[in-house]
Amino acid sequence: MEVLGVGNALMDLIAFVEEDFAPSLGIHNNAVLHLERRDFDAILPLLPEFEASAGGGGANVARTAAFLGAAASFSGCVGLDLLGESYAEELEASGVEPLLSRSSSETGVYCSLIRPDGGRTLIVSPGAALDLDLEPPRDELFRPGALLLVDGYLLRNRAYFGECLGRAKRSDMEVAIDLGGQALTAAHRDYLLEILPGNCDILFANEDEFAALSGLPLREGIELFGSCEFELVIKLAERGAIWARGGELIESPVREQRPVDETGAGDAFAAGFLAGRDRGLPPERCLRLGNRIAEEVLGVPGLGVDPERLRRVIEVLDL
């Protein structure tokens, strides 16, 4: 399997904080706050010790796929700064080929403040990640026989998003799309409904994103998409996952688990599902593999999982 991801390049910063830490900064617990970099930089020295990990949805999928033995590459945009250099180095250390562009903006960050009860407050400063679409998609992304994983956050520029899909199909690639947030999906719903048929082979979405796309409750939405040719994979967090296509529906539950950190777990699930699919496994086993890979990632901060543990998951499941 060869996986090429394209999307936001964000350095994930994972910090374990006390209940009153975010409120002490004037931020509500459980909030998702988008800040200019200068405002985030004022907060950074106040953070307790944190874990840093090269992230963003497409990068997380590529890194996990590489841990599982796939050839993997990632295209994103980082700054001309030390954080951008660290980002590229971490991709390479994970076995991922960096196809990175550079911007005069600072490298984007995604900061997760995790409280003792497991609740999260998120601070995002995308910075250079938003400059990816200032140039056309890189030619190196389009390789016959490979799979292109497109981060749904690229929908902010429909022309760039559509060019990724169109060039991939013209290059005889499969295309997987991971929707990027409920609000963004809702804002581009009509466009997505138009472009998905014929340009997408696998659509990943969480329950809220899928509701925004279908405009219906979960089961009714799946029925609406019953005639679509692409595979629909809905991530339900602690309730597992669902696969559907052509009127067939398969559910895969998960074991109860208190996560250390949820960052990247959904992306790891997608990589596990794709690994099973590449091995020719039926959908129920692909779901099972995806869920088990996600469980491993939930047990560590960021994507700091031991790759050997992930490879043992495959062995234990006797794939």
Strand 50-55 to 10-16 pairing = antiparallel
pLDDT of residue 245 exceeding 70: yes
More confident residue, 301 or 154: 154
Residue 315 has pLDDT above 80, yes or no: no
Report the SS3 class of residue 190: helix
Query: pLDDT at residue 316 above 80?
Result: no
Q: Is the pLDDT of residue 264 over 70?
A: yes
Handedness of CA 114, 119, 125, 130 (dihedral sign): positive
DSSP-derived secondary structure letter, 56: S
**252 sits in which H/E element:** strand 248-252
Beta bridge partners of 241: 235, 252
110-130 pLDDT tens trace:
999 999 998 999 999 999 999
Q: Can you tell me the distance from the alpha carbon of 68 to that of 50, in angstroms, rounded to the nearest whole number?
A: 26
If you average pLDDT over residues 43-50, what whole number do you get?
Answer: 89
Domains (range + CATH), the chain: 2-9+55-104+128-316 (3.40.1190.20)
Cα–Cα distance measured from residue 80 to residue 102, given in angstroms and rounded to the nearest whole number:
6
Residues of the chain above pLDDT 90, percent: 83
Among 109, 95, 88, 90, residue whose Cα is nearest residue 64:
95
β-partners of residue 243 are: 233, 250
Residue tagged 């993997």 (tokens): 72
- Its pTM stands at 0.94
Burial of 10 (0-12, 13-18, 19+ CB in 10 A): buried
User: Residue 49 — pLDDT band, cuts 50, 70, 90?
Assistant: confident
Q: How far apart are CA 129 and CA 48, in angstroms?
A: 25
Do residues 255 and 295 make contact, with C-beta atoms less than 8 angstroms apart? Answer: yes
Q: Which of 105, 87, 107 is CA-nearest to residue 96?
A: 87
